[in-house]
Amino acid sequence: MGIFDYFRQPRQKSASVAKERLQIIVARERAARSGPDYLPAMQQELLQVIRKYVQVDDEAVQMNVDREGDCEVLELNITLPDDKD
């Protein structure tokens, strides 16, 4: 780094952007492949049912399968929109 660089605006480096994006997508894909095969289809159908009543976007339904000992726990998280109109 040269002396003139100290006066420049600090900017996020592209490698750290790459790392953050990768961490998110890789975690999501790992979760998807560790779960049962019907999970993506179930997520889509749940979205359709919810949309009969409220408009939510694709990210609104989050599903995770966790293993606790011998049990598999299906965690379902639905985010409803804030403003009611």
Partner 1 sequence: MARIVVITSGKGGVGKTTTSAAIATGLALRGHRTAVIDFDVGLRNLDLIMGCERRVVYDFVNVINGDANLKQALIRDKRVDNLYILPASQTRDKDALTQDGVERVLNELSEDFDFIVCDSPAGIERGALMAAYFADEAIVVTNPEVSSVRDSDRILGILASKTRKVEQGGEPIEGKLLLTRYSAERAERGEMLSIEDVGEILAIELLGVIPESQAVLNASNAGQPVVLDEESDAGQAYQDAVDRFLGEERPLRFVDVPKKGFFGRLFKG
Instruction: Look up residue 67 and give its amino acid.
Output: R
Euclidean distance between CA atoms 18 and 26, whole angstroms: 12
**Alpha helices (H) along the chain:** 14-34, 39-51
Stretch in the footprint of partner 1 (CB under 8 A) among 12-20, 40-48, 61-69, 73-81 = 12-20
Find out whether 59 and 81 touch, Cβ atoms under 8 Å: no
Compute the least distance from the CB of residue 69 to partner 1, in Å.
Answer: 20
> For residues 29-68, which are near partner 1 according to CB under 8 A?
29-30, 33
How many residues contact partner 1, by CB under 8 A?
A: 19
Closer of 26 and 80 to partner 1 (Cβ) = 26
The structure tokens 């997520």 sit at 43
Q: Site residues (CB under 8 A) for partner 1?
A: 1-5, 13-16, 18-19, 21-23, 25-26, 29-30, 33
